[in-house]
Amino acid sequence: MAVTELLDNLVHRVNVGDTLTRTADRLPATTALVDGDRRISYRELDDWTDRLARALVDRGYAPGDSLALASGNSTEFLAVYYACAKAGVVCVPLNLGWRPDEAGYVLGHAGVRGVVVETQLAGWVEQALAGLDGVRDVVLAPGTGGDVPTTLAGRSTATLEAWAADAEPGPVEVVVPDRAPITYLYTSGTTSAPKGVVGTHLAVVVESLTMALEARWTDEDRFLAMMPMFHTAQLNCFCTPAVVLGATLVVHRGFDPDRFLDTVEAEGITQVFGLPMMYRALTERPDIGQRDLSSLRRACYAMAPMPEPQLRRALDVFGCEFFLLFGQTEMSPTTTLFRPEHQLTHAGAVGTPTVSVRVALMGPDGERVGPGEQGEIVYRSPQALAGYLHDDAATEAAFAGGWFHSGDIGRFDDDGVLWFADRSKDVIKTGGENVASIEVERALYAADPRIAEVVAVGLPHERWSEAITAVVVPVAGARIDEAELLTAVRAHLDPYKVPKAVVVLDDLPRTSTGKVQKNVLRRRLADHYSGGTA
């Protein structure tokens, strides 16, 4: 390698690790992370990640090698992520909702050389490592407790603390191209193995700068990080922008209403990100009016729309602006923002494109469609994935015609706001008609305020091919009368869009990031109409 290549790269490169170093130079004493009793400044975080990056290099990790990360939300998670970035190593966060065999598939598919694992997850990772000879290093992070085994799946273990302590201080300087991968993030596999989304340094830095600009965040903001960091939304929409700016991240391992409220008050939290169901749980608390939420500036929600009555209640209770993120893992992930000024005037929309993403709609013939017409949502942006790992056919199909094809169906209205109609796989084909499940869900919410959550799915039916079926969770203490609900919803839908039946459940199956698993519901309820004539 020529010396000039390294020097040129150091001068010009776009690297996620460099964003931390620049912030540490600007704001060395500012608190970067609060994790329980631990408070870590930006200088301390940068020095720590330098040592971890050096530990990787000293152990033979080269740019392009991959390291898996099995961890809940913690300072260690972010330290490993930024250390990988500095060393040019690809970080592979493992979804903690996976079965051991699913995690094992990802470890093998991503070709990881090592895995950093919190101690309480050691048993899960040991099962995942069965038969994977290529995974060499097992490094233990403290986590939430449990034994610290000296061996795991036949491998001697080390500790993350020892790795950092043994490493020389100072920055690691290696060639990391701007479009080199920083992560392999695996999408949920519903009918096949999950696909590895290759995210680049350039994509994450552009996403981070875009979110900071679009959400109007500053270095004085204080973020509560409670959604899973192994998911792109928490990691790239909130954690990396906070680091770019020099804001403070207060780390929670999940959503606990009491701890949430206590932390907002004690830490002066200004920015929160959660699911609609979390905001609903908070607004329904009898003591919510006595809690001090005055520090909040903005609250973000994602993964699911928020029904208008629930949104109005949240705006009243929290007293701050609300906005929605829309996008997908392949786009790093934000593509449109449903902005605070549109929340009540365009209820149900997904917003307008961010400054770094071009959004268009495409018909089945590959031609662009205009305002008011439905089409597949397609994107152009430096935030787009580099490709799907080891899957050239899927990559070629996704980039057909020079756009990234999302698989989402939507339309633009006349004032440029995007409306999401459905995932193409969730469109219900009933009696020769295509019906968007999300349209049915919105109508059901409007028809009965006793509905806490609802999804519409198509189930096998002898007459209709797929029968539109409403799966409903009532609000606490309420009872849903199926006949009354079907009568009420007829005022909101064309007759052929009205569900053929209502199924009432106590809860809905979800991924570890909170998305409702419609594929699981379709499988569980596949025999609902067997022999029926609804």
Q: What's the CATH number where 358 sits?
A: 3.40.50.12780
Query: By the 8 A CB rule, do 301 and 324 touch?
Result: yes
Residues 433 and 411 in one domain: no
End-to-end CA separation in angstroms for the chain:
71
Q: Is the same domain home to 474 and 416? A: no
pLDDT of residue 192: 62
C-alpha torsion 123→127→128→130, nearest 10? 140
* Same-domain status, 43 and 127: yes
Residues 320 and 419 in one domain: yes
Domain final residue pick, 374, 407, 423: 423
Last residue of a domain, which of 185, 201, 217? 201
Instruction: Determine, yes or no, domain membership for 373.
Output: yes
CA atoms within 13 Å, Cβ hemisphere of 366: 7
pLDDT at 534: 56
Residue 227 lies in a domain: no
Pairing of strands 465-474, 451-461: antiparallel
**Is residue 118 domain-resident?**
yes
Q: Where does a domain end: 423, 443, 459?
A: 423
> 209 lies in a domain?
no
Q: Are residues 495 and 399 in the same domain?
A: no
Q: Looking at the structure, do residues 366 and 381 belong to the same domain, yes or no?
A: yes
Instruction: Give the domain CATH number at 194.
Output: 3.40.50.980
Please report which confidence band the pLDDT of residue 532 belongs to, taking 50, 70 and 90 as the band edges.
Answer: low
Contact in structure between 52 and 79 (CB atoms under 8 Å): yes
334 and 259 in a common domain = yes
Q: Is residue 246 one of the residues assigned to a domain?
A: no
Residue pair 88/54 in contact by the 8 Å Cβ criterion: no
- The verdict on residue 465 lying in a domain is yes
DSSP 8-state assignment for residue 89: P
pLDDT at 213 over 60: yes
Q: What is the pLDDT of residues 136-192, one digit of tens each?
A: 999 999 999 888 899 999 999 999 999 999 999 999 999 999 999 999 999 865 446
**Is residue 318 assigned to a domain?**
yes
The answer to whether residues 129 and 184 belong to one domain is yes
495 and 463, same domain (yes or no) = yes
- Looking at every residue in the chain, the average pLDDT score rounds to 94
Domain range enclosing 178: 3-201
Give the pTM. Answer: 0.86
pLDDT at 285 over 60: yes
Cα–Cα distance between 396 and 398 in angstroms, integer?
5
Give the chain's domain count: 3
Same domain, 416 and 468: no
| Per-residue pLDDT tens over the stretch 352-403 | 999 999 999 999 899 999 999 999 999 999 999 999 999 999 999 999 999 9
Residue 478 lies in a domain: yes
Tokens of 41: 């400044």
CATH number for the domain harbouring residue 438: 3.30.300.30
Q: What is the pLDDT of residue 312?
A: 95
Q: Is residue 354 located within the same domain as residue 435?
A: no
Looking at the structure, do residues 62 and 157 belong to the same domain, yes or no? yes
d(CA 44, CA 319): 35
